[in-house]
Structure 1
Amino acid sequence: MGITTTHKITPFLWFNGNAEAAVDFYISVFPDAEKTGGLPGPGGKPLTISFRLEDLSFTALNSDTEFRFTKAISFVVMCKDQEEIDYYWNKLTADGGQEVACGWLEDKFGLAWQIVPENIFDLVKTPKGMQAMMSMKKFIIADLEAAAKE
């Protein structure tokens, strides 16, 4: 199996020798996820691993050259309720992930994520809603809703 995707554009993620661990981690976090292919590499490690999280295809690359992810690129997870926000927040910050601000976090592999309610743009239309969002790390929907009504 080579690189497999059904999308014209696919995020290609460069990992520093730990692509397999990263892919296994992401597949464990997202309920609708799977490995879809890959290419063998030297020393028994895969060179690439194709995988799918929800409806988005990715390819992970194993490399010995060290490049780091930056927060300039992030993946947004739109959540239907507080339970879903809590689930993704807790899973993605586990084992060394870092809370950042305004719904952003960095997972243990250095990838940036935004964990947000589906109606985030409605909740921050007012100055109070925006102020509430700016003061949070993990979003608390009830607090955002209360601020948006003020």
Structure 2
Amino acid sequence: MPDAKATVCLWFDKDAEEAARFYAETFPDSAMGNVARAPSDNPSTKQGDVLTATLTICGIPYLLLNGGDAFKQSEAYSLQIHTENQEETDRLWNAIVDNGGQESACGWCKDRWGVSWQITPRALTRALAAGGDEAKRAFGAMMGMQKIDIAAIEAARRG
């Protein structure tokens, strides 16, 4: 990660390492990096507590910071993961939701730490980019979904 020009930093209460390991195991082209632990003279933690964890998620570098409970995650920041097919969409969605997360609308869900994810099939992106009535039908179908159903999007796109 030292070669990266920019790194995304996500604030966690105290579970940065656990979240980093889950993300690295769940998402393609992802890997765990370093875990920095508190020295004995850190004023706000105990010696050995995790301060930060680094990783890449789908090739993008992240720093997960254990900063305490001063700030909470919100939908104002989300990670959009583009999927190739229904199998990948289902696998990622279920990994997040079945690990203490919660479903939302239109392909959005939250993980157990409150981080918002958009699990977005490329078929949906292509349908919306088509424009006109085709995109309107696909958009209308998406609005009634939680996890995106590619077959239903493609059917709506065709009319």
Q: Same fold (TM over 0.5)?
A: yes
Map 1:24-63 → 2, pairs under 5 A: 24-41=21-38, 42-43=45-46, 44-63=48-67
Deviation at 1:31, TM superposition (A): 4.0
- Counterpart code for 2:96: L
SS in 2 for 1:122: helix
* Structure 1 counterpart of 2:15, from 8, 18, 25: 18
Q: Work out whether residues 49 and 59 of structure 1, in 8 Å CA contact, stay in contact via their aligned partners in 2.
A: yes
Q: Distance in 2 between matches of 1:22 and 1:122?
A: 31
**Correspondence for 2:156:** 147
1:82 aligns with 2:86: yes
- The 1-side partners of 2:155 and 2:80 are apart by 23
SS of 1:64's equivalent in the other structure is coil
**In structure 2, C-alpha distance between the alignment counterparts of 1:9 and 1:145, rounded to whole Å:** 37
Letter in 1 for 2:60: L
Q: Name the residue aligned to 1:132.
A: 141
Structure 2: which 5+ residue stretches go unaligned? Answer: 39-44
Alignment RMSD (CA, Å): 1.5
Structure 1 gaps of 5+ residues are none
Range that drifts further, 94-103 or 83-92? 94-103
* Alpha-carbon distance between aligned partners in 2 of 1:113 and 1:6, rounded to the nearest angstrom: 26
Aligned length: 147
Question: Structure 1-normalised TM-score?
Answer: 0.90
SS at match of 1:96: coil
The match for 1:116 among 115, 120, 136 is 120
Q: State the match for 1:6 in structure 2.
A: 3
Query: Do the aligned partners of 1:38 and 1:48 also contact (CA within 8 Å) in 2?
Result: yes
Contact 1:94 1:108 in 2 (8 A): no
| CA distance, structure 1, for counterparts of residue 111 and residue 93 of structure 2 | 9
Aligned counterpart, 1:98: 102
Normalised TM-score (structure 2)? 0.85
1:106: how far off? 0.6
